[in-house]
Amino acid sequence: MSVLVVGSIALDTVKTPAGQVTEALGGSAVYFSFATRLFAPVRIVGVVGRDFPESHWSLLRGRGIDLTDLRVAPGKTFRWSGAYEGDMAVARTLDTQLNVFQEFEPQLSPESAASPWVFLANIHPSLQLRVLSQVPRARHVFCDTMNLWIRTQKNELQALFSEVAGVVLNDQEARQLTGEDNLVRAGRQVLALGPRVLIIKKGEHGVLLFQGSEVAALPAFPLEQVVDPTGAGDTFAGGFMGCLAQGGEDISLASLKRAAAHGIVAASFCCEGFSLDRLKDLRHEQFQARLGLYQDMVSWKT
């Protein structure tokens, strides 16, 4: 089944202890799409400026991503610059230039509006709600957000959460949204807002999955060296949604755990290189080999 993602396409300048890249292809919709494409067809809804490099167009097309609803607007493409230090758990933003993304108003083609699986990446919740109104036949809509919207648009976020099937947050966002330090109690409060499924990302400590009264925890895949964690959360979401879409209509806890494992492994590849260096050439057999290692790591015999 096809997956639709609505989010940012960016030119990222990133510095980490491993080095630096300048104006590399990034953005939530891009990382999500590269991971989803491992398992299912994917369509991007977004905007870039007229300065968007042809090499990046070629990279997206070469991955087989549907770009029908990727618009080109007068002006410059969204740019983000950040730096990581120490354990690289959090990026320090150095510069943000929204450019054409500031006026982004998602308009879906009939083909995109018919998508059964939809991921609303981190954009203003009012835009997420407007996209939601354009996909009345979508059976499984998941969304992401960020601390800024939790602080400034909490009412709109709560309205959004009441309408979607699933929510993806990181641990800091879950605590900020609920005021709870304990993530299990925080997860229960988020579910009370309406979504059937909640995923709380904990970086190098893995994820928590919530569905109804059930909770599951999965560890991250251990990496000896992290080059650049930019986009790892969106890559996780893409692997997660792609695996779910590949499986059909099943969103049982067992299916969610399987999908989360795929997202975790996809995110591990993302962290091993700058930008899309590891994802763009990732082969199915390489992914399956690491997934096998991960399955061995999290299972045991009694």
For the stretch 101-128, pLDDT in tens is 999 999 999 999 999 999 999 999 999 9
Query: With contact defined as beta carbons under 8 Å apart, do 244 and 259 qualify?
Result: yes
How confident is the model over 273-284, as pLDDT tens digits?
Answer: 999 999 998 999
How confident is the model over 206-234, as pLDDT tens digits?
Answer: 999 999 999 999 999 999 999 999 999 99
| Predicted local distance difference test score (pLDDT) of residue 247 | 82
Which residue's structure tokens are 């905007």? 47
pLDDT at 137 over 90: no
Which own/partner contact pairs does 145-151 have at CB distance under 8 Å and 24+ positions apart? 145/169, 145/173, 146/122, 146/173, 147/172, 147/173, 147/176, 149/122, 149/124, 149/125, 150/176, 150/177, 151/176
The single-letter DSSP state of residue 118 is: E
CATH number at residue 60: 3.40.1190.20
Residues 90-107, mean pLDDT to the nearest whole number = 94
Cα 29 to chain centroid, rounded: 7
Domain that holds residue 108: 3-298
| Predicted local distance difference test score (pLDDT) of residue 260 | 97
Q: What is the pTM of this model?
A: 0.96
Query: CA dihedral defined by 52, 56, 62, 64, rounded to 10 degrees?
Result: -60
Q: How confident is the model at residue 186 (pLDDT cuts 50, 70, 90)?
A: very high
Q: How confident is the model at residue 249 (pLDDT cuts 50, 70, 90)?
A: confident
Q: Provide the domain count of the chain.
A: 1
- Residues 4 and 110: their CA atoms lie apart, in Å, by 12
Query: Among the listed ranges 23-27, 47-51, 134-138, which one has the minimum average pLDDT value?
Result: 134-138
